[in-house]
Amino acid sequence: MSVEFLVASAIGVLTAAGIYLILRLRTFPVILGTSFLSYAVNVFLFTTGRLAVGAPPILDKYAENPVYTDPLPQALVLTAIVISFGMTAVVLMIALSAYLSGGHDKIDMQDETESEERA
């Protein structure tokens, strides 16, 4: 089994789990689902820089067979990890305040006509 197959399978599992959790009607699974989707995107971006173990991130023009990894996807993933951590913290605090003010974490999706009939 190749490394590419394992990484592609991991990306697929993370994406499927993230989409499944986003479709739930509770706030905490939705937050976990968005985290799983961001992890899947980060792993995908990381693999675009070539999966080469022990290869330098700088191209050596004097080498016979230049093998290197692209450092740009690594920098993008590092930035995305920091941003997703911050956004997860903000969304988690918003969900916690909504839970404390409403008494439950269920996501209510009502039509406008239903809400107008109640008023």
Query: Which tens digit of pLDDT belongs to each residue from 92-119?
Result: 999 899 889 888 888 776 665 555 566 5
Domains of the chain, start order: 3-55+66-112 (1.10.287)
Q: Nearest 5 degrees, angle CA 6-CA 9-CA 11?
A: 110
Per-residue pLDDT, 47: 85
- Mean pLDDT within 18-36: 92
Q: How far apart are CA 69 and CA 11, in angstroms?
A: 20
DSSP for 14-25?
HHHHHHHHHTSS
CA atoms lying within 13 Å on the CB side of residue 8: 5
More confident residue, 109 or 39: 39
Measuring CA to CA, which residue among 73, 105, 83 is closest to residue 34?
Answer: 83
More confident residue, 86 or 55: 86
Q: Which of 27-31, 80-84, 109-113 has the lowest mean pLDDT?
A: 109-113
Amino acid at 61: K
Per-residue pLDDT, 93: 93
Neighbours of 35 (CB within 10 A): 19
pTM for the model: 0.75
Measuring CA to CA, which residue among 15, 33, 14 is closest to residue 23?
Answer: 33
Residue written as token pair 């959790």? 21
